[in-house]
């Protein structure tokens, strides 16, 4: 069993592989969203990855994987809990995306290695971290209108952005996962929030993950 100390050592090792500049294809055709759902009354979790056409945001493919949790929830070690079902779902994809949006932080993390970085260096693809709630860093004076941005600062480092994706809603927290700059990541997340607070990638993967969990539970009985 992986201990907390061992997990932190892995983070320290892998963080050096993170690329914080744009290494994207010339044109993004397929964008992926990832999410993990938790069953209320068991240890079951479902990893979910959806592929969308980047221009139309229509679903191209869906892959899910249900399994039991293998690691506890520890803030700062979140990725070790969600990586296993996501990697299993990743293996089931019929094609690979040009870019991925993870639910959770990237560099906006205590040790600069959140979920989006871990997934990015593991599958070696560009990944954006987009968290629904604050984890670390300070931000001030975020405007109220859609598109407003306030830098997330920790130890004098610009680790991410608070981004208001719709007027009069709570912000999301965007940071580099891998092979993408913060500016590009922020721009893309805003574009993906066509109608709701969260990017379509996150909303749709959440939906299919929930379905997969229900199907799996019904199949067991």
Partner DNA sequence: GCGACAG
Partner DNA sequence: ATCTTGTCGC
The binder of DNA chosen from 78, 160, 188, 204 (CB under 7 A): 78
Provide, rounded to whole angstroms, the least separation between the CB of residue 114 and DNA: 3
Provide, rounded to whole angstroms, the least separation between the CB of residue 132 and DNA: 3
**N- to C-terminal Cα distance for the chain?**
30
State how far the Cα of 172 lies from the Cα of 138, in Å rounded to an integer.
14
Residue 103 among known ligand-binding residues: yes
Provide, rounded to whole angstroms, the least separation between the CB of residue 129 and DNA: 7
When the beta carbons of 53 and 145 are compared against DNA, the nearer one is 145
* Total residues at interface with DNA (CB under 7 A): 30
The binder of DNA chosen from 21, 132, 170, 194 (CB under 7 A): 132
Provide, rounded to whole angstroms, the least separation between the CB of residue 187 and DNA: 20
Stretch that binds DNA, among 49-57, 88-96, 154-162, 203-211 (CB under 7 A): 203-211
The binder of DNA chosen from 30, 32, 33, 35 (CB under 7 A): 35
The binder of DNA chosen from 75, 94, 155, 156 (CB under 7 A): 75
Residue 41 among known ligand-binding residues: no
Instruction: Please provide the DSSP assignment of the chain as one string.
Output: ---HHHHHHHHHHHGGG---S----SS--EEEEEEEEE-TTSSEEEEEEEEEETTT--EEEEEEEEEE--S---TT-THHHHHHHHHHHHHT-SS--SEEEEEB-SSSSTTS--HHHHHHHHHTS-EEEEESS--S-B-----SSTT-EEEEEETTEEEEEEE--STTS--EEEEEEESS-HHHHHHHHHHH-SSSSS-HHHHHHHHHHHHHHHHHHHHH-
State how far the Cα of 149 lies from the Cα of 21, in Å rounded to an integer.
19
Stretch that binds DNA, among 22-30, 32-40, 145-153, 178-186 (CB under 7 A): 32-40
When the beta carbons of 26 and 41 are compared against DNA, the nearer one is 41
* Residue list for the binding site: 35, 103
Binding residues vs DNA (CB under 7 A):
35-40, 73, 75-79, 103-105, 109-110, 114-116, 129, 131-135, 168, 206, 209-210
């Amino acid at each position: 069993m992986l201990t907390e100390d061992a997990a932190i050592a892995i983070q320290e090792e892998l963080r050096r592989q993170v690329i914080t500049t744009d290494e994207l294809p010339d044109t993004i055709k397929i964008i992926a969203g990832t999410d993990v759902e938790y069953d209320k009354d068991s240890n079951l979790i479902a990893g979910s990855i959806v592929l969308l056409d980047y221009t139309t945001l229509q679903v191209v493919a869906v892959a899910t994987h249900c399994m039991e949790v293998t690691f506890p929830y520890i803030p700062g070690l979140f990725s070790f809990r969600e990586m296993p079902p996501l990697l299993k779902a990743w293996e089931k994809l019929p094609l690979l995306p040009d870019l991925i949006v993870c639910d959770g932080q990237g560099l906006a993390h205590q040790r600069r290695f959140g979920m989006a970085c871990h997934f990015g260096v593991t599958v070696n693809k560009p990944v954006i971290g987009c968290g629904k709630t604050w984890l670390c860093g300070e931000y001030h004076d975020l405007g109220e209108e859609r598109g407003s941005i306030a830098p997330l600062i920790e130890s004098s480092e610009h680790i991410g952005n608070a981004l208001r994706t719709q007027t009069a809603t709570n912000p999301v927290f965007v940071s580099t996962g891998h092979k993408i700059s913060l500016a590009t990541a922020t721009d893309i997340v805003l574009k993906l929030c066509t109608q709701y607070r969260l990017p379509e990638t996150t909303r749709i993967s959440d939906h299919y993950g929930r379905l997969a969990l229900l199907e799996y539970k019904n199949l067991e009985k």
